[in-house]
Amino acid sequence: MRQLLATLWKVASFPFRALVWLILLPVKGIKKIYQFLTYEPEDRPLMDAVADTLQEPMTMLDHIQALRRHLFRILIALIISIGVVSIYASQIIDWLSISIGGIQSLQAIDVTESVSVFMRVALIAGVALASPYITFELWLFAAPGLKPRARMIGLIGIPLATILLLSGMAFAYYVMMPVAIPFLLNFLGIQTIPRPSSYINFVTGLMFWIGVAFEFPLVVFVLTLMGIAKPSFLLKQWRFAIILIAIGAAVITPTVDPVNMALVMAPMIVLYFLGIGLSYLASAGRKRSRAIQE
The upper half-sphere exposure of residue 58, i.e. CA atoms within 13 Å in the direction of its Cβ, equals: 0
- CA–CA distance, 22 with 11 (Å, rounded to integer): 17
**Residue whose C-alpha is closest to residue 156's, from 290, 24, 285:** 285
End-to-end CA distance of the chain: 67
Q: Please give the residue that has the higher pLDDT: either 227 or 93.
A: 93
Those residues with Cβ within 8 angstroms of residue 71's Cβ, 6 or more apart along the chain or in another chain? none
Q: Please give the residue that has the higher pLDDT: either 278 or 294.
A: 278
- CA–CA distance, 253 with 266 (Å, rounded to integer): 12
In percent, the amount of the chain with pLDDT more than 90 equals 4
pLDDT tens string 135-176? 888 888 877 776 777 777 777 878 888 888 888 888 888 887
pLDDT tens string 71-92? 899 999 999 999 999 898 888 8
Q: Please give the residue that has the higher pLDDT: either 162 or 189.
A: 162
DSSP state of 59: G
Q: What is the pTM of this model?
A: 0.72
Q: Please give the residue that has the higher pLDDT: either 59 or 142.
A: 142
- The count of residues in the chain is 294
User: Helix (H, G, I), strand (E, B), or coil: what is residue 40?
Assistant: coil
Burial readout 57-90 (b: 16 or more C-beta within 10 A, e: otherwise): eeeeeeeeeeeeebeeebeebbeebbeebbeebe
Q: Are 254 and 180 in contact (CB under 8 A)?
A: yes
Tell me the range of 1-5, 75-79, 155-159, 198-202 where mean pLDDT is highest. 75-79
